[in-house]
Amino acid sequence: MFKLRALSIFAAAASVWASGATAQVILSAETGPPGTVPFTAMTTLAEIASAEGIADFQVTDGQTATNSLQNLAEGKTDVSIAPLTLTFLMQKGAGPYAKLGAEKGAELISNVRVLHTYNYGGFGLYAFNSSDVKGWDSVKGKTILNGPPRGAALGHGRGILQLVSGAKDGEDYKGIQVNWGQMSKTIADGSANAMMLPVTFPDARITRALAAGDITLWSVPKDVWESEAMQKYLKAPGASVITFPLSDLPPQKGLTIVSEDGIWRSLTTVGAEVVKASMDFETAKALTAAVIANKEIFLTKAPYMGTTNVGSVGFGLCGAVPVKYHPGAVAAYEEAGMTVPDCAKP
């Protein structure tokens, strides 16, 4: 059972009371596990919203985004994380939403609006140095931990591993999935030969796992990255890219990151903070304005937040992605002097 956290932080609340500001709105929210970009993005918004008297958030963490998005679309929660690839799949009634069907999926996604978007981190293959997985070409016949039981992380993990190694889950290797709350324990207990999971820099799950032994993390090889198949995959709805020199990263004892030319390359999932279409204009506007005004707080809240593109406008939207900004969010961006693409307006 996941713990319900009322994120009216004491210090922030004291500041609010001292200034006479009060948050008149209580919003339920769902996000991922602690130590991840979605969790930090949501809880930072919750802290700021409370401190500025916009709203008090009650955040349920450790959730799978697939379920959270559907809960929001069905009106069961007010704010949710949403990998944009899931909004595309819901509209089509595909993937984890196949049971909904296209008609119901399209109806549900019409209830969803965006406050702001950001990217989560990269994807990488990693293994303890004691494992017999020594890189992308040695995953066949092995057991690979590749995500939660369903959702964007699992889909991207499977897709990238197949493109790089040629190995397909269930045919060439055994993929195992566990809920996010169990992930660190499963990594450390040796249930899998290797992990194909989202990673941040630094990565909380890897940092905890280093207590059990040294780890090697592999970037997507340059030749595969530049291939037609990978470049097409990187243009999929809700996907973007993350590349940077490994020399930009501080060394982490026990962790070796492998790239043939010293450049990290991986797909990144673009996600959004989404709300119900019925959220009132002023609340959506105030929440979005708070993100814009406090961009640097978001980007420095944790070391891995610096490359997340929080505070940008239009990032990841349009094309095959069906969700649009909330009208209140559009107003906040435009008042801040930012141009919202027409294709992202409701």
Better-predicted residue by pLDDT, 81 or 11 = 81
HEC-encoded secondary structure of 68-107: HHHHHHCCCCCEEEEEHHHHHHHHHCCHHHCCCHHHHHHH
pTM listed for this prediction? 0.81
What does the pLDDT average to over 279-286?
A: 98
Distance, in Å, from the CA atom of 326 to the CA atom of 291, rounded to the nearest integer, reads 14
User: What pLDDT shows up at residue 181?
Assistant: 84
**Which CATH code fits 122-268?**
3.40.190.10
What does the pLDDT average to over 272-287?
A: 98
pLDDT tens for residues 108-124?
999 999 999 999 889 99
pLDDT tens for residues 309-334?
999 999 999 999 999 999 999 999 99
Common-topology check for domains 4-120+271-344 and 122-268: yes
Residue 103 neighbours by CB under 8 Å, 6+ apart = 93
pLDDT tens for residues 4-25?
344 433 333 333 333 344 557 8
Homologous superfamily of domain range 4-120+271-344? Periplasmic binding protein-like II (3.40.190.10)
What does the pLDDT average to over 84-94?
A: 96
Over pLDDT 90: what percentage of the chain? 79
Residue 299 CB neighbours (<10 A): 17
Q: Where are the domains of the chain?
A: 4-120+271-344, 122-268
Q: Are strands 122-128 and 79-83 parallel, antiparallel or unpaired?
A: unpaired
Residues in the chain: 346
Let me know if 105 is exposed, middle or buried by CB neighbors in 10 A (0-12, 13-18, 19+).
buried
Query: 296 by DSSP, 3-state: which?
Result: helix
pLDDT tens for residues 218-275?
999 999 999 999 999 998 898 899 899 999 888 899 999 999 999 999 999 899 999 9
| 171: confidence class by pLDDT, cuts 50, 70, 90 | very high
